[in-house]
Structure 1
C-alpha cells in the first residue's frame, strides 16, 4: 500500500489485494488449519503457504476441503473415516494436497459429517470417507480412504455434489437430482417412506420437470433451488414438524438464489439480498415447541438486524449461521460453545453480531464465509484495485 500522511487520502495504483484466510471455532481435530489442536474463540489468520488462490472451501463435521483456482485439492482436519482422501485414517492439522487428483481438475466439492464428494471439470464424481450408510454411492457400505469414481455418473456429466450428515445429493445433466445414503427422515426424496438407506444413486421424486440450479444438504435435510428462484425442501421437518418424503415447494412470493442448511434450521438468501430463516437457530430442548403446520410458510421468518442491509452470501453450521454483507462485513449468530461465532467467547447469540478481522481492509468486498459443524472460515480473495490519488 502507498504510504500517506494524515492530510492526504490514500492512493492506489493497480495494487493487488492480498488473499487472506481466517478460521475460528472447534479445532481439536485440526480442522482450523492452525497446527494447534484447540478451539479458537477469535479469528486466526492462517499462513497462505499452501492455501494460495483458493477458489472455494467446503467444511464438514470436522474436516475441510479447499480447491485452488487451478483445480487442485487440499484437505485437513479429522480423517478417521478416510474423508481427507489421503489413503489413510489419520487426522491432519495443516492443509495437505490430495495426490489422487494430481491429474484431474476439480471444480466443486462438498464435505459431509465424515465423507467427501468431488466433481471434476469433465463431470465425474468422486467420493471418499465413511460409507456405512451407502453415502458414497458405490453400491456397498464400505468406507474409502482415497477418492473413488462413482460409476453411476460416468456418462451423466455431474454439475454439483452436496454432502449431508449421512447422505449425498448430486445434480447432473438434464437438471436431474439423485440421492444416496441414509434416508430414514426422507432426505433422499424417494417416494417410499420405508427407505432407510440406499447405496446406489436413486432419482429424487418430483423434480423431473424442475430446472434445478443448486442443491444443498446438511444433517437430515435436503434442498434445491430452481432457475426461477423457487425453493424445494425435503427430509427432516423443521421445528418438530413432520418429515417430508419428497420435495415440496416453499410457498413464498420471494425469489431465492441461495440456501444453507443446518441441523435444525435453514437460511435463505433472496435475489434482493434479504435473509430469511426456517426453524430454530438454537435448538434448546426447553425452548423447542413443535409446530403443527401443513407447510413451511408459517415457519419462514426474516432474520433481524439486516434491515436496509444487502447480504451477498450466507453459510450455516450445525447450529450457527453467518452472512457477508455488501460492505464486506461478516456477521454470525446461533450456537457459540466452541467459539464458532468468532466473538471472543463461547456465548450463544440470538441475533447477528459483527466479527472483527483485525485490520483487514474490506474495500474489495470479496469476502466469503464457510461454516463447518462447529467452526467457521473466512476468505478474502485477491483482487486488482485501481484508483487515482485524491487530496483532502
Structure 2
C-alpha cells in the first residue's frame, strides 16, 4: 500500500534544508505508524483455528462448515461457484457464504453445495449442468439460489450430478442428471426441477453416489437405483435400474453412505457393510475384488458414523476414534503414509471426533470442541489451512483472526 507523504508548501524565503527535514520527519513517522511484514508489506492477520462448527460437508475439492450461529463457511475449489461467495476464486481458508442464516443442515459433493434452512426450504449453489440445483435451469450459480417446488424438506443428499430430498410429508423428490435412471422415476430424462420418486415413503436415511441413489426404508432394509457398474447397487447384478431394487442381505440398517462407485451401511449392532467398486481396497474387506452384494468390513465395531470418498472410506467409532481404508495416494487415509490399505487403519492424532466426511481425495473430521481437522489432497485449498500442500496427517482448519 502506498503511504501518502505530507510535503509542506514552500513559502517564499523558506530554505530548502527545512523542506528536506520536514519530508524526512513525515516519512519516518509514517513508517513507524505502519506495521510491516518481512519484505516491506503490511503484516498479515494472524491465522487461528476455525471454531464454533456444528456440522461439516465435503465436495470433490471443496469443504463446508455449518456454524453454531446458523451461517455457513466454505473453502477450496470454486471453479463453478461452489464456495457461494459470488466469485469463482478458490479459497485457501474459510469464507462466509453470504445471505445464509438459520441453516440447520448442509450437503456437498461434486462441484455444488446445498443448505437446508430451518423453515424447510433449500438454498443451492455451484455446478448446475444437469439441473442438480433444482432451480429449473442448467446455469451455474456462484451465490445461493432457491430451488423450485422444494418446501417442507427434512433431509437432503447430493452428489456430482443429482440431488435427493426427503420431504416432511414422507415423500422423496429428486432432480438433476438421470442418464442411468438415478432419479428413480422410471425414465432416463434429466430433471431440472424436482420430481417425486414413486413407491418410496418415510425413509430413515438417504445417500447419493455417482449416478446412483440409496435409501434406508422404514423396515431398515436398503434399496438402490441407477448406475450399477461394479455392482454398486448391491442387488447381485451389474444391471442398471431405473427404479429402486433391494440391496441384498442387509437388515437392521441405521444409515448408508455413498460417493462415487461404492457404498457403506451401518447396522444397529455397529458393524459396517460395503459393496461396489473395490480397485483400491475401499471396501475394506482385505481384497481388491468388486462386490455385487454387501460384505462385512472386519475389525470394525461400535461404529456411529461413516463416509465415503472417491476411493477411500471413513468410519467413526464410539469414543471418537476414526478408521480409514482404501486409496491413499494423497494421504487421505491420515495415517502419515501414502500407502493404500485394504483393511481399516487408525487416523493418527485424532480424538473426540463427532463426525467425518470424505471428499474426492481429502477427508474432514469435526471435533467435539467445534474445531475441524482435514487431511489428504490440497491442490485447491480444500484443507483450509491457507496452503495448497497435501497433508498426510490431520491439521486444523484455520481462519484469519
Q: TM-score range by the shorter chain?
A: 0.7 to 0.9
Contact 1:23–1:43 (8 Å) recurs in 2: yes
Question: How high is the TM-score relative to the length of structure 2?
Answer: 0.77
2:105 corresponds to which residue?
56
Contact 2:298–2:343 (8 Å) recurs in 1: no
- Output the CA distance in 1 between the equivalents of 2:339 and 2:348: 21
- Output the CA distance in 1 between the equivalents of 2:214 and 2:176: 15
Per-residue deviation, 1:288:
8.3
Contact 1:314–1:324 (8 Å) recurs in 2: yes
Contact 2:230–2:261 (8 Å) recurs in 1: yes
- Output the CA distance in 1 between the equivalents of 2:373 and 2:199: 40
1:39 corresponds to which residue?
90
* Residue 244 of structure 2 corresponds to residue 201 of structure 1: yes
2:38 corresponds to which residue?
none
The one of 346, 350, 359 equivalent to 1:317 is 359
1:265 corresponds to which residue?
312
- Output the CA distance in 2 between the equivalents of 1:289 and 1:29: 32
Q: Deviations over 1:32-76 (max 9, x none)?
A: 0110012111111233x3x21111111021111110122111111
Per-residue deviation, 1:142:
0.9
* Residue 346 of structure 2 corresponds to residue 302 of structure 1: yes
Any unmatched runs of 5+ in structure 1? Answer: 1-16, 292-297, 360-392
Per-residue deviation, 1:327:
1.9
The one of 59, 73, 78 equivalent to 1:27 is 78
Contact 1:123–1:159 (8 Å) recurs in 2: no
- Output the CA distance in 2 between the equivalents of 1:33 and 1:320: 20
Contact 1:114–1:130 (8 Å) recurs in 2: yes
Distance 1:160 1:346, change over 3 A: same
The one of 254, 265, 288 equivalent to 1:224 is 265
Per-residue deviation, 1:212:
0.8
Per-residue deviation, 1:199:
1.0
SS, match of residue 152 in structure 1: coil
Work out which of the two has the higher radius of gyration on C-alpha atoms and give 1 or 2.
Answer: 2
Per-residue deviation, 1:283:
5.5
SS, match of residue 185 in structure 1: helix
- Output the CA distance in 2 between the equivalents of 1:357 and 1:19: 18
Question: How high is the TM-score relative to the length of structure 1?
Answer: 0.79
- Output the CA distance in 1 between the equivalents of 2:330 and 2:373: 20
Per-residue deviation, 1:219:
0.8
Contact 2:114–2:122 (8 Å) recurs in 1: yes
* Residue 152 of structure 2 corresponds to residue 105 of structure 1: yes
1:278 corresponds to which residue?
325
* Residue 174 of structure 2 corresponds to residue 123 of structure 1: no
1:329 corresponds to which residue?
371
- Output the CA distance in 1 between the equivalents of 2:138 and 2:300: 47
RMSD across aligned C-alpha pairs, in angstroms? 1.8
Contact 1:108–1:118 (8 Å) recurs in 2: yes
Distance 1:283 1:186, change over 3 A: farther
Any unmatched runs of 5+ in structure 2? Answer: 1-67, 282-287, 332-336
The structure with higher relative contact order (CA 8 Å, sep 6+) is 1
- Output the CA distance in 1 between the equivalents of 2:311 and 2:317: 20
* Residue 212 of structure 2 corresponds to residue 167 of structure 1: yes
- Output the CA distance in 1 between the equivalents of 2:272 and 2:385: 32
Q: Deviations over 1:131-163 (max 9, x none)?
A: 01111111111100000000121xx32222211
SS, match of residue 299 in structure 1: strand
Contact 2:329–2:340 (8 Å) recurs in 1: no
SS, match of residue 231 in structure 2: coil
- Output the CA distance in 1 between the equivalents of 2:306 and 2:290: 19
